[in-house]
Amino acid sequence: MDSTISRRKWMGQMTALIASSTLIVPNLAYGTETEANPTTNLIKLSGNENPYGPSQKALEAIKKSLSLGNRYPFGEASALHDQLAKQMSVNSKQLLLGSGSSQLLQLLAHWAVIQKYPVTYPSPTFDILPNQVKELGGIVNEIKMEDDFRYDLDQIGKQARKTPGIIYLVNPNNPTGIKTSAHALRNFCKTATAHSYVIIDEAYIEYVGEQDSLVNMIHDNERIIIVRTFSKVYGLAGLRIGYLMAHAKTINKLKPLRIWNNDSLSMTGIAAARASLDDPTFIRESLNKNKTIRDTTVKKLVNLGIQPYASDTNFIFFRIPENKDLASLLKKRKMLIGQKEIGGINYARVTIGTKEEMNTFINHITNIY
């Protein structure tokens, strides 16, 4: 199923791929450019960012790291690598760092195309990986979710058996916020990895807890790959730090696709990530605030006749009443949300911001409807 990629062969293939390749922006948010500009005075509830981060410890570490901005961060990246491996209870040979999980998903997409692996995935989901595969001429199999936006694991498994290669799953899912139980995923992976790799994007796993992660399966299963990020609960979206965990043999297959050892990490991002790992209090407080404000927001929406889907993340997902272009209506009120059309119906994905931001959101929704 696998073939070894020599350095020379890889360079030839990647030159052709990169010539037509760009990092694909996921089709989930209502725009991504001017909205991030702080001068626009917009309330940004479209990026699923942590409104409380970076933590104070991370900010202090960033300041100290600035004096090292003239140096390549190889040693610091190795220290973060070892720190993460220890915290995640994996061997140091089972982990790769990346400039955000998006870079690692792009790397995996390139690997899929080079190896000629079809990619099977449920839709809607965070779609950088399958979109990148399509852009590069690879094969993707999109499996529609069930009516309640839960994964149809049976259909995903059937399709992957027909076209073995890679299965891509996000858990909890984005944009729906719905979690697939660890028990169901474990059973699925035991069967699916007989013929395919399973990539599980755990960008929001901290919001449900480590008990729902499948990372402990990588020790004995070469075909499970876990991708994570510091962009969400750690509040480091702008500093671009992500990591990938897999069996050492799988990591060795992916290493030739890196730019260089420890990739394009910044000194400041590494410093912030290391400090964040040592700040469990900030993470705990962020999770508690998120849950309290999310639950309050959901209750207020229900009182307005809007029923969000059950969320296990830092955002909520709901069908937009009257099928309006809610994103445009809120943008006129200087607020940004995510919006996606699915089957001719508009759905909203709204990040849980601060208490004040969510009160403003509810006031806008009340006025609109």
Taken in order of first residue, the domains within the chain and their CATH numbers are 34-51+280-368 (3.90.1150.10), 56-277 (3.40.640.10)
Q: Are 275 and 58 in contact (CB under 8 A)?
A: yes
Between the two ends of the chain, the Cα-to-Cα distance in Å is: 55
Strand order in the sheet with 315-319: 43-45, 335-342, 345-351, 315-319
pLDDT in tens, the chain (369 residues): 444 444 444 444 444 444 444 444 455 443 333 444 454 689 999 999 999 989 999 999 999 999 999 999 999 999 999 999 999 999 999 999 999 999 999 999 999 999 999 999 999 999 999 999 999 999 999 999 988 999 999 999 999 999 999 999 999 999 999 999 999 999 999 999 999 999 999 999 999 999 999 999 999 999 999 999 999 999 999 999 999 999 999 999 999 998 876 668 999 999 999 999 999 999 999 999 999 999 999 999 999 999 999 999 999 999 999 999 999 999 999 999 999 999 999 999 999 999 999 999 999 999 999
Buried b (16+ CB within 10 A) or exposed e, 185-209: beebbeebbebbbbbbbbbbbbbbe
What gap in Å lies between CA 27 and CA 278, rounded to an integer? 34
Q: Give Cβ neighbours of residue 70 (< 8 Å, ≥ 6 apart).
A: none
Single out the residue of 91, 70, 66 nearest to residue 81, CA to CA.
91
Torsion over CA of 79, 83, 85 and 87, rounded to 10 degrees? Answer: 180
Instruction: Report how far residue 268's alpha carbon sits from residue 301's, in angstroms, rounded to the nearest whole number.
Output: 39
Instruction: Measure CA 225 to chain center.
Output: 13
Closest CA to 198 of 141, 266, 276, 120: 120
Cβ–Cβ under 8 Å, residues 358 and 352: yes
Three-state secondary structure call for residue 251: helix
Q: Is the dihedral of CA 229, 230, 235, 240 positive or negative?
A: negative
Helix (H, G, I), strand (E, B), or coil: what is residue 55? coil
Residue pointed to by tokens 């040592």: 278
**Which residues pair with residue 345 across a beta bridge?**
342
How many residues are there in the chain? 369
Amino acid identity of residue 88, one-letter, is M
Q: What CA–CA distance (Å, rounded) separates 196 from 169?
A: 13
Residue 355: its H or E element: helix 355-368
Enumerate residues 6+ apart whose C-beta is below 8 A from 342: 124
Residue-level pLDDT at 36: 47
Q: What are the two backbone dihedrals, phi and then psi, of residue 77, each rounded to the nearest 5 degrees?
A: -65, -40
The per-residue pLDDT for 260 is 73
pTM for the model stands at 0.90
- pLDDT of 19 reads 42
Q: Residue 299 and residue 321: Cα distance in Å, rounded?
A: 16
Q: Which of 165, 166, 141, 170 is nearest to 155 (CA)?
A: 141
